[in-house]
Structure 1
Amino acid sequence: MTDRITLAHELATQLSPVSRAWLQLADRILGSLAISNSAGWALVHLERLGKGARQGDLARAIGITEASLVRTMQQLERGGLVERRPDEEDRRANRLHLTAEGKKLAGEAEKRLIELRIELLEGIPDAQLEGAVRLLGIVAERAAEMRSRA
C-alpha cells in the first residue's frame, strides 16, 4: 500500500497536467466550430448560466476577469450570437442573452464537450467518478478556505 504522503504527492503532481490536457482537448473541439476558444467558452457558460446572465457572473463561471471578457463579448455581439438587454432590476446594467444562432452554436459546443467527457471517462466505474468528484470538491473547498485566511 502506498503511503499517504506519496499518494498526496501523486495527486498534486497529476492535477495540473490532467486539467491542462483536458482543457486543450476541449479548446480544440471549440476551435473546430469556427469561433475562437474564448468565444466558445463564453457561449457554453452563458447557456449553462441561463437567460440574462450578468457579465461578471459569466466571467467568474469561465474563470477570468470581467476585463478579459469584454473583447470576446464584443465579438459575439457583432457576430449576432449574443445580445445585451437592460437589466430589469438595475437599468444601469445589462444582461447577456444568447440569440437563436448563439443558442444553436452553444448547443453544438456542449454536445461535443459531452462526447469528449464520455470518451475520456469510458470504462471508469461510476463509484470511482463519484469519489473523484467528492475528492476534488473537498480539496477546492479547503483551498478556498486557506486562500481566504491569507
Structure 2
Amino acid sequence: MQEKIALLHELTNSLQPVRRAWKRAVSEVIADYGISMSLASAVVLVYRNPQGLNQKLLAEEIGINPGALVRLLDQASNEQLLERREDTADRRIKTLHILPKGTEIAVSIERAADALRLELMNDVDLAAIEQATQVLRLFEKRANEFVLQSKSKK
C-alpha cells in the first residue's frame, strides 16, 4: 500500500510541472504568431467547439479569472479572431465563435503543436501513450466525481 501511495504521490505531483513544461514549450511555437499563450489557447479552444463556447467554460478551460478573460476577448474581437454572440436560450450568456482569421491561426497553431508533440514524444510507444492518457482521464473523472459528491453533501 505504501508503494502505491508513493507512486500516486509522484503522479499527482507531476501534473503541474508537466503542464508548465508543456506550456513553456508550446509558447516557443506560438511566439511565431505574435499572440500570447492565453489568446492562442482561447482561439484554439473556440475553434475546437464550432457550435460556440460560453465565456465561463472558456475561462475555466484556460485557467484564468473571468475578469481577465473579458480583456482577452476584447483583444480577440479587435483582432477579428473571435466574436461574442448572445446565447439564443439566455441573452445574458455570451457564446464565443471563431472568425475566419481565428480559424486560420488556430489551424496553424494546432499543426505546430502536433509537430512539437511528435518531436517530443516520437520515441514513446503508442501503447504507453494510450495507457498514460487512460490513467490521466480516469484520474480526472474520479476527481470531478469527488468534487460533485462533496458539493452535494454540503
Q: TM class by shorter-chain length?
A: 0.7 to 0.9
CA pair 141-109 structure 1, distance change in 2 beyond 3 A? same
Percent identity over paired residues:
35
Q: Which residue of the partner structure matches residue 69 of structure 1?
A: 69
Q: Which residue of the partner structure matches residue 89 of structure 2?
A: 89
TM-score (norm 2): 0.83
Q: Distance in 1 between matches of 2:4 and 2:132?
A: 16
1:135 partnered with 2:146:
no
1:28 partnered with 2:21:
no
1:57-107 Cα deviation digits (max 9, x unpaired)? 222222333222111000111111112223222234332222111111111
Moved runs in structure 1, 4+ residues, more than 6 A? none
TM-score (norm 1): 0.85
SS at match of 2:83: strand
Q: Which residue of the partner structure matches residue 118 of structure 1?
A: 118
RMSD of aligned alpha carbons: 2.2
Give the AA of the match of 1:8. Answer: L
1:80–1:99 contact (8 Å) kept in structure 2 = yes
Runs of at least 5 residues in structure 2 that lack an aligned partner in the other structure? none
2:38–2:62 contact (8 Å) kept in structure 1 = no
